Structure formats: structure tokens, C-alpha cells
Amino acid sequence: MSAFPEHRLSIITLGVRDRAAMTAFYQDLIGFKNVGPEGMTMFDMGGFILGLWEADKLAEDAGQAPRPAEGFRNIALAYNARSIEEVDGIFARLKEAGVEITTPPHKAFWGGYSGYFADPEGNAWEVAFNPFWKFDEAGRVVLPTGETA
């Protein structure tokens, strides 16, 4: 028996040091729309929410000790593009805006094309084109059935 009655994701919350600056980055540069109540940033991601909340408050709410902000956080968020050209266009705009590109777009070992950038607080984002995946009308990834690619 599964602990969760439905297999889905509702919210990913990033604990941040400067919520106002991070909200501005995601809203003004990346283009996400903040739909959150006062005191928390929430971006509608087409079926789930990307939240931004102060790291100390998030750690307290979760009953955990805050962790150092430096270094890789062992998680990457990802945007799957519809083409190699879309990936390149996104990275061109990010580079022009002065965003840190941690891994430039390249042909990936798994048969696609991807690169990484970091938001102002070092959270890793992958932008990739996967030729094995399709999208539904809402832009959500539809995994191939019976395949692991």
C-alpha cells in the first residue's frame, strides 16, 4: 500500500536568504507570476507551486536545523524545452542578463541537450531538450510508456 493516495507533487519550497531579491529574479527575469499571499512567494507552475520562503522560517517549520547556504544543495530544478533552439535561446537571455551559467548547453550523454544555471542564491536549474519526451496541451511532460529514457 502506498503512503500517498495519489502520485503527484504539490509544492516545492526553496528556503532563501533574501526573499524579495529572489522573488524579483524569478518574476522579472525568469517570467514567473507571483500568486502567493503576503509573506510568501508562490509561483504557479502549471500543476504545482514553486514557493520561496525565508530559509530560517522554513527550517523551523520543518523542525530541522538550518543548513549552510554555501555549496551544492543536492537538488536541481529543471525546465524541459521543446527544442535545442529553445534551450539556446533561454541561455542567451540568461547570459545577457548576467545570470551565472554553471554548465553551458551541450549534447548530453543521455541523448538530449542540456545546460545549467544558478539563481542568485545558488539553486541549480537545468534547461534541457529531451528528444524522447513529448508534452501535453498544458506543456506538461508525458513520459513514454514502457521505456526508461
In a domain, 68, yes or no: no
The pTM assigned to this predicted structure is 0.87
Domain closes at, from 39, 62, 85: 62
Are 90 and 123 part of one and the same domain?
yes
Are 46 and 92 part of one and the same domain?
no
Are 57 and 96 part of one and the same domain?
no
Are 80 and 123 part of one and the same domain?
yes
> What is the model's pLDDT at position 8?
82
Q: How far is CA 137 from the centre of its chain?
A: 20
Are 79 and 58 part of one and the same domain?
no
In a domain, 10, yes or no: yes
CB 118 within 8 A of CB 75: no
Burial 80-90 (b: 16+ CB within 10 A, else e): bbeebeebbeb
Q: Give the mean model confidence (pLDDT) for residues 17-21.
A: 95
102 by DSSP, 3-state: which?
Answer: strand
In a domain, 67, yes or no: no
Are 58 and 83 part of one and the same domain?
no
Are 90 and 46 part of one and the same domain?
no
Question: In this structure, which amino acid lies at residue 143?
Answer: L
The total of structural domains in the chain comes to 2
Cα–Cα distance, 45 to 31 (Å, whole number)? 11
Burial 47-75 (b: 16+ CB within 10 A, else e): eebbbbbebeebeeeeeeeeeeeeeeeee
CATH number reported for the structural domain that contains residue 104 in this entry: 3.10.180.10
Are 57 and 101 part of one and the same domain?
no
**Res 149 pLDDT > 70:** no
User: Which of the listed ranges 30-39, 58-67, 99-108, 132-141 does the model predict with the highest average pLDDT?
Assistant: 99-108
Q: What is the domain extent for residue 48?
A: 1-62
pLDDT digits (tens, 9 = 90+) for 87-146: 999 999 999 999 999 999 999 999 999 999 999 999 999 999 999 999 898 888 888 876
**Res 46 pLDDT > 70:** yes
Burial category of 41 from C-beta neighbours within 10 Å (exposed 0-12, middle 13-18, buried 19 and up): buried
Cα–Cα distance, 16 to 103 (Å, whole number)? 22
In a domain, 96, yes or no: yes
